[in-house]
């Protein structure tokens, strides 16, 4: 809008933004604050808005006693490997969808997309039974396969939209020079869609990083449990260890927050299957 803004409107806008920023940040601030105080002060009335005195007890405890380093490693492992697997399966499929015509293409693409809408809870019993049978329950590889399954549809759709933007002429002239399709795929398409692939790798990690339900059902011990599951385990018989859950929350939120800040441009595409840019 190019029209002049009245001073009254500017004040209204500032108030509006400050109000919503405060509301949006309150739970985040509370998490940070709760992670920094002694356990006796976590739930008191009137509440303490500032962490006084500051205690790192929460972080020390989760780091030393609760197996958090293991949870952290598991989370990174299943997300990174799951994202790589989704890309390995998804890149060729995206290329096919972008460049070739074949029978039932629309129906195949629609079917792939439809999986994104099915609640994981509805597939959990079958997948749990299957994984029990092939010994993938409580294994990091089981989660890798599950997370790849969640991400493949999004990878295919988003990367297809990236590849659609690469001019066909580049590939065609390369093919006319006598190179094979395979060579053009590796020498033209992959390098040109590298930014999209890198962004997709990050988006995949973002989408499954905080996943709780699947991870909670398919894991039973620290050998494969992820951070969200580890945090939920802190709800025990002696009560809920608020400060330690908060400490987990802060540590888990840091990498993912960096991803959303630095990959803002690609979030829209990741959220909308590449339909919106």
Partner 1 sequence: MEAEKSGLAYSAVTQETAVPTRKKKKSKGYLLIWPAFAFVLFFLIIYPFGYNVYQSFFEYSMLTDTSRFVGFGNYIGLFTKIDYLRSLWTGGLIAVVSLAIETVLGLAIAIVLNQKFKGRVVARILLILPLGTIPVINGYMFNVLFFPNASVVDHILNFLGLVHGPIPWLQDPTLARIVIILLDVWQWTSFMIIILLAGLSAIPESSYELARLDNMSKWTTFWRITLPKIKFPLALAMLIRGMDLLKFFDGVFALTKGGPQSATETVSFYIFRTGFRTFNIGFASAASVIVWAIIWVAAFIVITKMFGTSEAKA
The minimum distance between CB 6 and partner 1, in angstroms, equals: 11
Please report how close the Cβ of residue 148 comes to partner 1 at its closest, in angstroms. Answer: 8
Q: Which is nearer to partner 1, 24 or 56 (CB)?
A: 24
Task: Give the Cα separation of 224 and 69 in Å (integer).
Answer: 12
Q: How far is the CB of 61 from partner 1 (least distance, A)?
A: 16
**Closest approach of partner 1 to the CB of residue 198, in Å:** 19
> 235 φ, ψ to 5°?
-90, 95
Residue number with CB closer to partner 1 (141 or 212): 212
* 67 vs 90, beta carbon nearer partner 1: 90
> Between 42 and 193, whose beta carbon lies closer to partner 1?
42
What distances in angstroms separate CA 177 from CA 19, 170, 216, 218, one per listed residue? 61, 11, 53, 51
C-alpha count within 13 angstroms, C-beta hemisphere, residue 277: 7
Structure tokens at 269: 């595409």
Q: How far is the CB of 106 from partner 1 (least distance, A)?
A: 3
- Cα 231 to Cα 68: distance, rounded to the nearest angstrom: 9
Smallest gap from Cβ 92 to partner 1, in A, equals 4
The CB-of-53 to partner 1 minimum distance in angstroms stands at 19
Per-residue tokens: 8: 């009254």
Helices (H), the chain: 7-35, 57-64, 68-99, 105-114, 120-133, 140-164, 168-176, 181-184, 190-192, 194-209, 213-218, 227-232, 242-262, 264-271
Select 118 or 238, whichever has its Cβ closest to partner 1: 118
Nearest to partner 1 of 105, 195 (CB atom): 105
Instruction: State which residue, 194 or 260, has the beta carbon closest to partner 1.
Output: 260
Give the torsion sign (CA, 203, 204, 208, 209).
negative
**Whole-Å CA distances, 200 to 92, 151, 161, 255:** 14, 10, 12, 16
């Amino acid at each position: 809008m190019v029209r002049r803004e009245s001073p009254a409107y500017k004040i209204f806008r500032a108030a509006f933004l400050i109000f919503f920023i405060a509301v949006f940040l309150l739970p985040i601030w509370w998490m940070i604050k709760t992670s920094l105080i002694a356990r006796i002060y976590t739930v008191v009335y009137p509440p303490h808005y500032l962490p006084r005195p500051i205690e790192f007890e929460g972080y020390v405890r989760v780091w030393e006693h609760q197996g958090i380093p293991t949870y952290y490693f598991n989370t990174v492992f299943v997300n990174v490997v799951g994202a790589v697997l989704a890309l390995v399966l998804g890149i060729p499929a995206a290329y096919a969808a972008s460049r070739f015509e074949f029978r039932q293409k629309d129906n195949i693409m629609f079917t792939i997309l439809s999986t994104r809408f099915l609640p994981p809870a509805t597939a959990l019993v079958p997948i749990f039974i299957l994984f029990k049978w092939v010994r993938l329950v409580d294994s990091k590889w089981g989660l890798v396969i599950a997370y790849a399954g969640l991400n493949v549809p999004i990878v295919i759709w988003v990367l297809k939209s990236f590849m659609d933007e690469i001019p066909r002429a580049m590939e065609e002239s390369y093919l006319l020079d006598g190179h094979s399709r395979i060579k053009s795929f590796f020498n033209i398409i992959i390098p040109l869609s590298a930014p999209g692939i890198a962004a997709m790798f990050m988006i995949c990690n973002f989408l499954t990083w905080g996943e709780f339900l699947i991870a909670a059902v398919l894991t039973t011990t620290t050998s494969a449990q992820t951070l969200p599951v580890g945090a939920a385990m802190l709800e025990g018989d002696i009560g809920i260890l608020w400060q330690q859950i908060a400490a987990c929350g802060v540590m888990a939120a840091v990498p993912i927050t960096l991803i959303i800040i630095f990959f803002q441009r690609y979030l829209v595409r990741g959220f909308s299957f590449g339909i919106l840019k």
